[in-house]
């Protein structure tokens, strides 16, 4: 999850459990963005802002609030979402459909047969064309592509004949597809920050992913047939069925009953 006050800071511990430093801490009930939450103690792991984790009434971590070091009244609230892209970018991404329902049947059958069923294997299989099927991890930690100028092989894993190493590129904006860990296709909002992160600075145009992806997959299949690249061998598995974030003054066992709301619930004060 990316800090809003300082975008260079990433909140990586997105566990729903109570943060260790918040165990046995008692907190009042606060109202933030229309939600009743318990706020934990300051998380001293972060120095760019005063950060407090937020918990639901069921003691589940649901987000955080970060206060500016210069002005405590300047704060931002970040919420956890079911969609990893929504959580990281704090945007309304939509889980559209399973990747397996989007790809051509021939591609699905071949990938299942070759056990290409994880985000890394799927992206590696796309390297022979312009399509890019990427997870959030691929965006935040852009992988290195190993390729051979003689046989044309490409892989995210180092291969014996590789003589070139380059960061993953994104040749065509319209052929980028985003997937979560459950292989669900996730659609970003039109003005998503993801495009700038990927190097696209022009305003995003309406797109139709599926036809463009199908075209690129067909191109991929043709290239694979010609070059006969090295076949990846990931752990055995099958595609998953359709399925679809550290510090709060939060009690470890149970909160006190009947906590009073702060005088200014929309602007929580630093303890």
Q: Which H, E and C letters describe the chain, residue by residue?
A: CECCCCCCCECCCCCCCCCHHHCCCCCCEEEECCEEEEEEEECCCCCCCEEEEEECCCCCEEEEEEECCCCCCCEEEEECCCCHHHHHHCCCCEEEEEHHHHCCHHHHHHHHHCCCCCHHHHHHHHHHCCCEEECHHHHHCCCEEEECCCCCCEECCCCCCCCEEEECCCCCHHHEEEECCCCEEEECCCCCCHHHHCCCCCCCCCCCHHHHHHHHHHHHHHHHHHHCCCCCCCCCCCCCCCCCCCCCCCCCCCCCCCCCCCCCCCCCCCC
Q: Which residues contact 177 (CB under 8 A, 6 or more apart)?
A: 99, 102, 131, 132, 133, 134, 185, 209, 213
How much is the pTM? 0.68
Mean pLDDT to the nearest integer, 190-199: 91
Share of residues in the chain with pLDDT > 70 (%): 74
User: What range does the domain containing 39 cover?
Assistant: 1-80+245-271
pLDDT level of residue 27 (50, 70, 90 thresholds) = confident
- Whether 82 shows a pLDDT value over 60: the answer reads yes
pLDDT in tens, 250-267: 333 333 333 333 333 444
What is residue 215's predicted lDDT score, i.e. its pLDDT?
Answer: 56
Please state, rounded to an integer, the average pLDDT across all residues of the chain.
79
Do residues 188 and 102 share a domain? yes
pLDDT at 244 (0 to 100) = 35
Q: Same domain for 118 and 220?
A: yes
pLDDT value at 226 more than 90: no
Residue 248 confidence (pLDDT) above 90: no
Average pLDDT over residues 128-151: 91
In a domain, 141, yes or no: yes
pLDDT tens readout for residues 58-81? 999 999 999 999 999 999 999 999
Q: How far is Cα 107 from Cα 109, in angstroms, rounded to an integer?
A: 5
- Residues forming a β-bridge with 239: none
Instruction: Classify 57 in phi/psi space as left (phi over 0), alpha (psi -120 to 50) or beta.
Output: alpha
How many other C-beta atoms lie within 10 A of the C-beta of residue 135? Answer: 20
Residue 225 has pLDDT above 70, yes or no: no
Please determine, for residue 271, whether its predicted confidence score (pLDDT) is greater than 50.
Answer: no
Confidence of residue 241 (pLDDT cuts 50, 70, 90): very low
Our count of domains for the chain comes to 2
| Same-domain status, 108 and 180 | yes
Helix axes 105-113, 209-227, angle to 10 degrees: 50
Within a domain: 237? no
More confident residue, 136 or 210: 136
- Residue 122's closest CA among 99, 102, 89? 99
Average pLDDT over residues 74-90: 94
Is residue 126 domain-shared with residue 185, that is, in the same domain? yes
pLDDT higher than 80, residue 155: yes
- Give tens-digit pLDDT for 5-21: 999 999 988 889 999 88
Residue 59 sits in the same domain as residue 124: no
Please indicate, yes or no, whether residues 222 and 266 belong to a single structural domain of this protein. Answer: no
CA distance to 43, 73, 127, 222, 236, per residue, from 166 (Å): 38, 45, 12, 23, 28
Q: Is the pLDDT of residue 211 over 90?
A: no
Smallest Cα–Cα separation from 164: which of 193, 139, 144? 144
What local confidence, expressed as pLDDT, does residue 108 receive?
94
**Stretch 101-123: mean pLDDT:** 94
Domain contains 161 = yes
**pLDDT value of position 159:** 79
| Within-domain flag for 88 | no
Rounded CA-CA distance 96/250 in Å is 35
């Amino acid at each position: 999850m990316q800090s809003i006050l300082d975008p260079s800071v990433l909140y990586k511990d997105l566990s729903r459990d109570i943060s260790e430093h918040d165990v046995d801490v008692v907190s009042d009930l606060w109202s933030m963005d229309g939600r009743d939450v318990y706020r934990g103690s300051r998380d001293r792991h972060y120095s760019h802002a005063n950060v407090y984790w937020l918990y639901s009434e069921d003691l589940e971590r649901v987000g955080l609030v970060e206060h500016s070091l210069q002005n405590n009244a300047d704060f931002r609230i970040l919420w956890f979402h079911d969609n990893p892209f929504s959580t990281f970018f704090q945007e309304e991404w939509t889980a559209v459909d399973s990747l397996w329902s989007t790809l051509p049947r021939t591609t699905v059958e071949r990938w299942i047969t070759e056990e290409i069923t994880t985000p890394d294997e799927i992206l590696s299989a796309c390297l022979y064309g312009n399509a890019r099927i990427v997870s959030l991890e691929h965006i935040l930690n852009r992988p290195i592509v190993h390729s051979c100028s003689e046989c044309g092989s490409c892989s995210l894993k180092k291969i014996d004949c590789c003589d070139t190493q380059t960061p993953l590129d994104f040749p065509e904006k319209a052929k980028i597809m985003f997937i979560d860990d459950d292989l669900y296709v996730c659609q970003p909002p039109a003005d998503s920050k993801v495009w700038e992160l990927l190097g696209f600075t022009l305003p995003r145009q309406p797109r139709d992913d599926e036809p463009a992806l199908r075209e690129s997959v067909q191109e991929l299949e043709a290239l694979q047939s010609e070059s006969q690249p090295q076949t990846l061998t990931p752990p055995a598995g099958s595609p998953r069925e359709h399925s679809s974030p550290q510090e709060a003054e939060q009690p470890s066992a149970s909160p006190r009953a009947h906590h009073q709301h702060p005088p200014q619930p929309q602007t929580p004060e630093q303890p």
